Amino acid sequence: MSAFVSTFMQGLLYRGREGHLSYLGHRLAGLGTLSFLAIHILDTSTVYFFPSLYSHAIDIYRSTPFMLGEILLVAAVIFHGVNGLKIILYDLFPNWWTKTTERQSFWRVAGLTVILWVPAAYMMGRALYLNNICRCPPPPPAGPRDLTSPLIGIAAAFVVVLAVLAFGGSLNQAAIRSTRTVAVPTRNLETWSWLFMRWSGALLVPLAWGHILIQDILVGVHAIDLDYVALRWATTAWRVYDIALLAFAFGHGMNGLRGIVDDYIQHRGWNRAIKWTMLLGWVALTAIGAVAVVGGVRK
């Protein structure tokens, strides 16, 4: 415990400026997203295991505190995604990273996050006002709408974010190779874990952003019920989409949490016990979510 407290305090007191703020923001945003995701898997799985409870779970999401929390959650997801893309770019092009570029990239990440978040916050805040304050909601949509335009918008945002983050970087491959002064390690569990974080992170930006855009912004929690879920999962493509999101998002989050445990839990026995608990929790929640998506809505 003393080692945990000491490591935690050193992290808080470290004066790393923009680089440290980026590090802390990435971890806090990731932990917040992972916590919500675990809850979301359980409440969505009730459509198959306990359909009568789903309406009660959705009612909680419709409350003002939860809707405010979801607006903040969207900010966390956007920041984590944009900053994650920055990390991936630095991994691919290590000569781009310097103390100066790290400071510049932090403010690029922050600016992109605000630009992408403000329209979402406005639309979600408007839904909160209409439904919970003035209680004059517009008629809810009958079901999943044509999502071609929103998905094109997500793809465009992805390209713009990459372009802004990459602005000013050198594509000189000789310079890139010259910075690699250590031998490439053999592939083991840790290297595959590292690669999974990069691959899944890049894939999750369109997947997670698309899910939030559809569910939380365009449709809105007040229009979601058992009929909506049944209509959405009547299309095989949406089930494949949700299973992919479940597999990559929860696996990405739990693997990130594993890294945090390694940083703060130094005792070998406690470290191993916590990791085994996490592994069992990951398997159990993933299985519950997958069974619910495959099984569909039971009425």
Helices assigned H by DSSP within 93-225: 99-128, 148-166, 173-178, 189-212
In this prediction the pTM is 0.86
DSSP single-letter state for residue 93 = -
The tokens for 59 are 């009612």
Which residue in the block uniquely carries the two structure tokens 């517009």? Answer: 138
Q: Are 105 and 86 in contact (CB under 8 A)?
A: yes
The rounded average pLDDT for each run of 10 residues, N- to C-terminus, in the chain (299 residues) is: 58 70 92 94 93 90 93 95 92 78 88 94 92 74 60 85 81 53 68 90 90 88 89 90 93 93 87 94 95 88
Burial of 1 (0-12, 13-18, 19+ CB in 10 A): exposed
The tokens for 160 are 């713009």
Helices 17-49 + 99-128 axis angle, to 10: 40
pLDDT at 142: 46
pLDDT at 217: 87
Beta carbons within 8 Å of 76's beta carbon, 6+ residues apart: 28, 29, 32, 33
pLDDT at 275: 93
